[in-house]
Amino acid sequence: MRARSLRLRLFLVILPPLFLVSILLGAWRFEVAQRTSEELFDRSLLSAALAISRDVAISEGDALSPSTRQVISNAGGGELFYHVTGPGGVYVTGYAYPPRPEVPIAQNMPFYYFANYRGKEMRVLRMIESRTIGTLTGDAVVTVWQRVSDRRAFARELAFRAAALIAGLMSALALIIWFGVQIGLRPLNDLQAAIRQRSPEELGPIRRPVPQEVSGIVSTLNRLLGQVQDSFEAHQAFISDAAHQLRNPAAAILALAETLPSVQDPAERATCEKQLVDVARKSARLAEQLLSLERLRYDNSTATEPFDLNTVVEDVCRTFATKALARDLEFTLAPTDEPLPVFGNPVLVGEALINLLENALKHGGGGMTAISVWTSADDESVMITVEDDGVGIPQDKVGNAFRRFSQLENGEGAGLGLAIVEKVMVRHAGRVDIMPADVGTTFCLRFPRATNA
């Protein structure tokens, strides 16, 4: 599946929270606009009521001054209605039948309330003051009212203007984020172009300035490139060494095969045939060891099969006994009485043991008389010990014994046996040790005990 682009991912991460904040801000702004408009319109009602009360007192109810009419006509929130009664409830001026409150109101205090007027909801201000109009002195009642729908429409208009402003800002912000992310990702695009221009053989580290947030990825990539380069060089070295090691057996097989048809003497022909079979067998064994070494190198699968180490040791020693007896060697096996549980691959463990035994057979020398194998265990580990009384390995050459294609002295083999043993033990979280011995060589394979097998 194709992964979502980083640019779109950042856009979707940044924009939705801002969009949610803008919605909340718009709702808050609408509420504030309504509350503010109510306060402003109530103040305009109060201003109109005070102006009307003043004019009534000055003109004794005859007419409203031009300035007061201007206030009334310019009042926000739509058309403004008013009604004035003088002392004794005498009608002075304004519209007839004003909306009345349901409760009594105090004198000299403006009183706001909602009421119906001709089938429409109104916001009403009623104010009672003591006035003298003409020869009459008493309470004058000034009532001023506006349509609630007009006031709310005005508030909605203010809120919609704010919402339009927020929407415009969000649109501009979305464009800034979209193109800003593109500009911010430009170093990554430059890095991609630089990597694309590399050849498959160019595995050196990437040396380009990158943002701090990407430096970890570049460092990891450089480490991976270094590992790939090391693996590639090791693989090339292995191919070179393998080709060198296979060249001699292949040349010997070819020489014997070319010589064999011209041999007429039966005894000499039989000798050539035996030599050809021996060389072919050695070549096959070398190819098998090379394949085993490569399999251990590149097959990183985790082996978790539980098995009894004694069973594997007995099977390998039963097969190897024929070769040991053919050399007139004393070959002994002493397994433990109790099972030795191990997690791992029994085939690879058997391969490691057979390499140790054949290594003793090839490099033990003509004076070797015995090979012994036994198993043992302690609280944490189980061990296989292989001991011979051959020429042994000098202490100053122990470090080179496990190197690939390393031979401590001229002899049979390609120097792969102990390298395979070491890799098998590493795969099984164990180790191989060369134990100190007065005579011959003693190898110890140490495996961790399988506690839940």
What digits encode the pLDDT tens for the residues 154-201? 778 877 888 888 888 888 888 888 887 777 777 777 777 878 888 777
- Residue 249, pLDDT > 90, answer no
Asked if pLDDT for residue 301 goes beyond 60, the answer is no
Q: Can you tell me the mean pLDDT for 430-449?
A: 87
| Average pLDDT of the segment spanning 199-212 | 77
What percentage of residues in the chain have a pLDDT greater than 70? 81
Per-residue pLDDT band at 296 (split at 50, 70, 90):
low
Of 146, 117, 139, 155, the C-alpha closest to 48 is 146
pLDDT, residue 303, reads 52
pLDDT at 152 over 50: yes
The mean predicted confidence, pLDDT, of the chain is 79
At 445, the pLDDT band (50, 70, 90 cuts) reads very high
For residue 290, name the pLDDT band (cuts at 50, 70, 90). low
**Judging by DSSP bridges, how do beta strands 341-344 and 381-388 pair with one another?**
unpaired
Q: What is the pLDDT of residue 168?
A: 87
**pLDDT value at 2 more than 60:** no
Q: What is the per-residue DSSP string for 79-119?
A: -EEEEEE-GGG-EEEE-SS----SS---TTS-EEEEEEETT
Mean pLDDT for the stretch of residues 345-374? 86
Q: How far apart are the first and last CA of the chain?
A: 40
The pLDDT, as a whole number, for residue 372 is 93
pLDDT band at 9 (very low <50, low <70, confident <90, very high): confident
Looking at residue 377, the DSSP 8-state letter turns out to be E
pLDDT at 95: 84
* Amino acid in position 63: A
Mean pLDDT computed over 423-447: 86
Rounded percentage of the chain residues whose pLDDT exceeds 90? 8
pLDDT of residue 408: 47
The answer to whether residue 375 scores a pLDDT higher than 90 is: yes
pLDDT of residue 317: 92
The per-residue pLDDT for 413 is 46
Q: ∠136-138-142 over CA atoms, to 5°?
A: 110
Say if residue 373's pLDDT is above 90.
yes
pLDDT digits (tens, 9 = 90+) for 212-238: 777 788 888 888 888 888 777 777 766
Domains, the chain: 6-171 (no CATH), 212-293 (1.10.287), 302-448 (3.30.565.10)
**Per-residue model confidence (pLDDT) at position 382:** 92
Q: Is the pLDDT of residue 134 over 80?
A: no
Q: pLDDT-derived band of residue 323, with 50, 70 and 90 as boundaries?
A: confident
Given this model, what pLDDT does residue 238 score?
Answer: 64
- Whether residue 306 has pLDDT greater than 50: yes
- Per the model's pLDDT, the better-predicted residue between 433 and 208 turns out to be 433
Name the more confident of 244 and 182: 182
DSSP β-bridge partners for residue 168: none
Averaged pLDDT, 139-144? 87
Q: Report pLDDT digits (tens) over 23-57.
A: 888 788 778 877 887 888 888 888 888 888 877 77
Determine the pLDDT at residue 414: 45
Number of residues in the chain: 453
Asked if pLDDT for residue 248 goes beyond 70, the answer is no
For every residue of 20-62, DSSP letters joined together read HHHHHHHHHHHHHHHHHHHHHHHHHHHHHHHHHHHHHHHHTTS
Buried b (16+ CB within 10 A) or exposed e, 27-38: eebbeebbeebb
